[in-house]
């Protein structure tokens, strides 16, 4: 059976609402951060479907015993925001995954060559094979940054089938690169835009998410 990467664009009205606010060039930084937080929350919620490991047990209600399902605390949960812009989604993701550990990885892109470079890597030396990893990056544009982050995760034992990527906007070049390298990967994004400009920015996109989130 051929395994093919899956890209989900959840048809949720709140995701579309906050995407519209994030896209608007007149949205001030404080409201832009709120939009990113909400997008992080709802995209993480969608990404958790059929992904979180659970345990079945019994609980006693005030009236009777009944079956109950809980998230399995024995399976490690990890959130990895790609700095800087991935931090904007982190605040929304954490309430959905309150038991998750957080590891940071910093990437910057050369504005001339559009190639990514890692300047900070706080990933552990080794992940347990069953670890669930949520990787957050608002913009999947050329694919260089997200692919380098994936390489670092896989090198440390993370299983691509257990990794979920959340992004606000994605473009075909990044999706094509990821699909070729990691066919078992699952991506959750608010929208897939059509193209990139000469500077490697997604069009229509939402500009530089890091600059807009941190007012720089």
Active-site positions read 109, 113, 208, 211
**Strand 163-170 with 139-140, pairing:** parallel
Query: What is the C-alpha separation between 148 and 150, in angstroms, rounded?
Result: 5
Query: What is the C-alpha separation between 147 and 176, in angstroms, rounded?
Result: 11
Nearest alpha-carbon partner for 79 in 118, 36, 133, 123 = 133
Residues 6+ apart with CB under 8 A from 34: 21
For residue 182, give both structure tokens: 């990691």
CA atoms within 13 A on the CB side of 162: 19
């Amino acid at each position: 059976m051929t395994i093919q990467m899956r890209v989900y664009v959840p048809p949720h009205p709140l995701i579309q609402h906050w995407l519209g606010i994030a896209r608007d060039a007149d949205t001030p930084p404080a409201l832009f951060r709120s939009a990113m937080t909400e997008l992080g929350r709802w995209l993480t919620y969608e990404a958790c479907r059929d992904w979180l490991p659970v345990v079945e047990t019994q609980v006693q209600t005030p009236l009777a015993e009944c079956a109950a399902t809980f998230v399995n605390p024995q399976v490690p949960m990890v959130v990895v925001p790609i700095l800087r812009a991935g931090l904007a989604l982190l605040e929304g993701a954490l309430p959905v995954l309150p038991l998750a550990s957080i590891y940071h990885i910093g990437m910057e892109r050369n504005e001339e060559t559009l190639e990514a470079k890692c300047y900070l890597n706080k990933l552990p030396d080794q992940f347990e094979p069953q670890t669930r990893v949520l990787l957050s990056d608002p913009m999947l544009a050329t694919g260089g940054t997200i692919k380098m982050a994936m390489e670092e995760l896989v090198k440390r034992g993370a299983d691509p089938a257990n990794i979920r990527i959340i992004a606000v906007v994605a473009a075909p070049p990044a999706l094509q690169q990821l699909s070729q390298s990691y066919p078992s990967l699952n991506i959750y994004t608010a929208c897939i835009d059509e193209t990139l400009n000469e500077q490697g920015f997604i069009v229509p996109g939402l500009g530089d998410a890091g600059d807009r989130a941190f007012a720089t």
